[in-house]
Structure 1
Amino acid sequence: MFDLISISEAIKQSYASKGLLVDVRSEEAFKKGHLPMAVNIPFTDIMKEKFDIEADFNVEKEQPVFVYCDTGSTSILAARKLDSMGIHAYNVVGGIMFYKGYLEKEKNDLWTMVRTS
């Protein structure tokens, strides 16, 4: 069974290189803002029958994977699927909505946000 983890603990574990932080939102949502150090693996990709996180993302079965979405509901399903594949998955409780820190963004989006004219 997958485990639950707070967003602050998931980030802390990722910074310590103790796991992979995965944003399961769409590529468009990811580009608009995601947690530092996160990789984007959309939920639709994870749910595909031939999805292989070990081969595609160099994840070992012992390596924890911390999955998040906007609110934590979609990531529950992703964590359940990863768990069924033998991956030690954690669902980030509350998703990115519980995060109040810095979000990484695509440079073009960031420039558009700060441009004054």
Structure 2
Amino acid sequence: MGFFDLFKQSNINQGIEEYKRTDDAVLLDVRTPQEHQEGHIPESKNVPLQQLDNIASVAKNKDIPLFVYCYSGSRSRQATGILQRMGYSKVNNIGGIAAYSGKVEK
């Protein structure tokens, strides 16, 4: 990772496309349950940032690809670091749903 990668915004739309092409991947929404109920990306699993210790409920295997999003990209960036420290090896921060242009379900 180069210096300028720190400032690069994740593109959630590209991230969703990559998620769809990745076998056995989990799309992880780390927003609050209320935010998730108000609208989320189809197939996403909601494990709020403050409850990441419950991640095994959706991803027992630490080698499973995780695609993490939140509202703006800030909480998903935090979650990515936490998940990596927990031993998950394939964690991708895809950014915030605020920039998402696809279908949202409630």
**Bin for the TM-score computed over the shorter chain:** 0.7 to 0.9
Q: Which runs of 5+ in 2 are unaligned?
A: 2-8
Q: Distance in 2 between matches of 1:84 and 1:91?
A: 14
Q: CA deviation at 1:19?
A: 1.3
Query: How many residues end up aligned between the 2 structures?
Result: 97
Is structure 2 residue 30 aligned with structure 1 residue 24? yes
Q: CA deviation at 1:5?
A: 5.2
SS at match of 2:28: strand
SS at match of 1:82: helix
Q: Distance in 2 between matches of 1:8 and 1:39?
A: 17
Q: Distance in 1 between matches of 2:69 and 2:59?
A: 19
Q: CA deviation at 1:11?
A: 1.8
Taking structure 2 as the reference length, the TM-score comes to: 0.79
Taking structure 1 as the reference length, the TM-score comes to: 0.72
Give 1 or 2 for the bigger CA radius of gyration. 1
Is structure 2 residue 37 aligned with structure 1 residue 37? no
Residues 75 and 39 (structure 1), Cα distance of their counterparts in 2 relative to 1, 3 Å cut: same
Matches within 5 A, 1:44-63: 44-46=50-52, 51-54=53-56, 56-63=57-64
Show the counterpart of 1:108. Answer: none
Which of 8, 13, 26 is residue 18 of structure 2 equivalent to?
13
**Aligned residues: percent identity?**
34
Q: CA deviation at 1:18?
A: 4.2
Show the counterpart of 1:66. Answer: 67
SS at match of 1:34: coil
User: Could you tell me whether the CA contact under 8 Å between 1:35 and 1:102 is conserved in 2?
Assistant: yes
Over the aligned positions, Cα root-mean-square deviation in angstroms equals 2.1
User: Could you tell me whether the CA contact under 8 Å between 2:31 and 2:46 is conserved in 1?
Assistant: yes
Show the counterpart of 2:77. Answer: 76
Residues 91 and 26 (structure 1), Cα distance of their counterparts in 2 relative to 1, 3 Å cut: same
